[in-house]
Amino acid sequence: MVLLRKLPGMPGWPTALGLRLPQKFLFLLFLSGLLTLCFGALFLLPDSSRFKRLFLPRRATASTSSSSSASSSSSAASSSSTRDTDLPRSPPAAAEPRHASPAAPRRLREKLRAAARPAPRARQQVQGGGDGRAEPATGAAPARDTRAPFRFDYERFRRSLRHPVRGRRPGEDPETRARRMKIKEMMKFAWDNYKLYALGKNELRPLTKNGHIGNMFGGLRGATVVDALDTLYIMELEEEFQEAKKWVEKSFDLNNGEASLFEVNIRYVGGLLATYYLTGEEVFKSKALELGEKLLPAFNTPTGIPRGVINLGSGMSWSWGWASAGSSILAEFGTLHLEFLHLSELSGNPVFAEKVMNIRKVLNRVEKPQGLYPNFLSPVTGNWVQHHVSIGGLGDSFYEYLIKSWLMSDKKDSEAKKMYDDALEAIEKHLVKKSAGGLTYIAEWRGGVLDHKMGHLACFSGGMIALGAEHAGEERKQHYMDLAAEITSTCHESYARSDTKLGPEAFRFDAGTEAMATRLSERYYILRPEVVESYMYMWRLTHDPKYRQWGWEVVKALEKHCRVEAGFSGIRDVYTTTPTHDNMQQSFFLAETLKYLYLLFCEDDVLSLDDWVFNTEAHPLPVNHTNFKASVQQ
Ligand code: DMJ
């Protein structure tokens, strides 16, 4: 008002109309209301390029539609997916600042949903390859292309394999065969009990004979079914495989809910992709692709580094409540590469590959303390949040996916190989130690201070280092094979030194302790695979019979301490011969532990390492012998 009265050229025109003070006030109130209404109406206009042209500068409009191509899918999605039932009703249990809260304006929520539904488009060369020159994450879905639909040539892929998937079955000694058959029987027992008491739930509770759902997979169910599929297939448990397949066909719904991006990717996407490649059955491919698309909005962050938790319905994502300062976890965002390249390969849509290539780009840009990769990175700034480094939990499978990306690319993705080589060199320099008793272990690093502990999870590294050693060049090869053997042997010691002959969740090398848990809270064993995983790789790469012997000891211990009336259960204390059970048959027991044990007693051409890499949940994904277009190109 004051302003109006004093403006030159506007000599108090309300006064000119002959209005009194209260009338002037009412008039101005009406005027400001009208202005607010007009402004608000802009936000209710339809999301079409016509209005974008009106309200955005020309260049901005063009780049929106060419680099992210969001408009077509966005408007399609906003018209088809505005049901409020898709929206979260309450904040997640792990309360961490979400970048979009349930109270966000409706248009924003619709946009987030729209980003969850990228339209398929015809196969294109991925922007950027082994040199990491990927386009930055745009945070939006690609355009729908009206050209002929893309079809993956499954027959061509099968012809490219160098070995039959389930091997040629040459003569073998009866003991090896009998041991393999025993492991097959364990798998059947685990599956039959899951089917009987928990089919459609995520895991079996073998003591109470019911199912467990948990909170890792949002509204997805049947984690054990999807995790078990390829193991059932490889073990030639045909009837059981058909049961699992039928469940996927008839009952596997991609329900919404708040899920771990990492877990959904490694178990569900990985399991479905692997089973498709093994069998050629379309249902597995289509479910994998549908699910993969639901994961894409997690990448809509300022850096393109995805957050850990995603609402599979709304596409909103946020960081774990326990992850410091809203950070993303190295082992989570670093364990998407293999699956996402295959999603691009099977769909012809490069968006999946672009997302993971961008993660690499961010990681290559950020400075590494002593060449090490800390476990917590901000998805907002792309900087490390905390200097905790571990090859076990929080870090582990990031390293695994570097070397496996290179192997999966048929050794063309030299960027991944270099990142792996450099990371391993730094780990060896700063974290690998030898105990007073001569055991080699990999410590954890907290801002330069070593924690002399190894988690069970870290025991996968023996196998990984052996796998990488094969390709390390003659002079380094033996060195890394020795390191791999020493670490595997240390992990074996953690089993051998327990009363159950099963290993604890973590073991330490301090205060006179060697390879044993010192804390009550670290004495449990939950049917984890990492130690037998390393035995399997070490066997395949050295054929030293001790690895089969060690694997057989694990089989006997599982039978003795973990087998109960209705399945297999984890135990709470490996240092007592009468352990109590935790009443949980983890899905990874069927996906990984039993698969790796079975492969340990197979010939090398069963899921040959020439043809397959195992994702971190032991789901086999094929090596790119056929020069996949979506994979990294040199
Ligand atoms: C599995 O789900 C995967 O191996 C993952 O990488 C970490 N650990 C569990 C099994 O221990």
pLDDT digits (tens, 9 = 90+) for 277-306: 999 999 999 999 999 999 999 999 999 999
**Cβ of 616 below 6 Å from ligand 1:** yes
For atom 8 of ligand 1, the residue with the nearest CA is 457
Q: Please state, in angstroms and rounded to a whole number, the distance separating the CA atoms of residues 70 and 111.
A: 10
Q: Which of 399, 528, 532, 615 to mutate to test the pocket of ligand 1 (most atoms within 8 A of CB)?
A: 528
Residue identifier of the C-alpha nearest atom 11 of ligand 1 = 528
| Segments in 366-395 forming alpha helices (H) | none
Please enumerate in sequence order all residues whose Cβ is within 8 A of that of 267, keeping only pairs 6 or more positions apart, or say none: 217, 223, 226, 227, 587, 588, 591, 617
Taking the centre of ligand 1 as the mean of its atom positions, its distance from the CA of residue 38, in whole angstroms, is 55
Distance 616 CA to ligand 1 centre (A): 6
Q: Ligand 1 pocket, 583 CB below 6 A?
A: no
pLDDT for the residue 172: 83
Q: Give me the helices (H) in 20-145, please.
A: 21-42, 49-55, 58-63, 70-80, 106-115
Cα–ligand 1 centroid distance for 530 (angstroms): 8
Catalytic residues: 505
pLDDT at 196: 98
Using the mean position of ligand 1's atoms as its centre, give its distance from the Cα of residue 302 in Å: 28
> What's the pLDDT at 324?
84
Residues of the chain with pLDDT under 50: 1-18, 38-144, 146, 630-634
Concatenated DSSP letters for 490-553? Answer: HHHHHHHTSSSS---SEEE--TT--SB--SGGG--B----HHHHHHHHHHHHH--HHHHHHHHH
Return the sign of the alpha-carbon dihedral for residues 320, 198, 500, 574: positive
Q: Please identify, by atom number, the ligand 1 atom nearest to the C-alpha of residue 397.
A: 6
Which atom belonging to ligand 1 lies closest to the Cα atom of 592? 4
Residue 30's pLDDT is: 65
Test site for ligand 1: of 397, 590, 619, most ligand atoms within 8 A of the Cβ: 397
Q: Establish whether residue 463 lines the binding site of ligand 1, counting it when its CB lies within 6 angstroms of any ligand atom.
A: no
The pLDDT assigned to 75 comes to 29
Q: Which atom of ligand 1 is nearest to the CA of 335?
A: 6
Q: For ligand 1, is residue 397 a contact (CB within 6 Å)?
A: yes
The protein residue whose alpha carbon is closest to atom 1 in ligand 1 is 617
Decide whether any atom of ligand 1 lies within 6 Å of the 468 Cβ: no
List beta partners, residue 41.
none
- Comparing CA positions, the residue from 433, 421, 320 lying closest to residue 371 is 421
Ligand 1 pocket, residue 138 CB under 6 Å: no
**Tens digits of residue pLDDT in 486-541:** 999 999 999 999 999 999 999 999 988 999 999 999 999 999 999 999 999 999 99
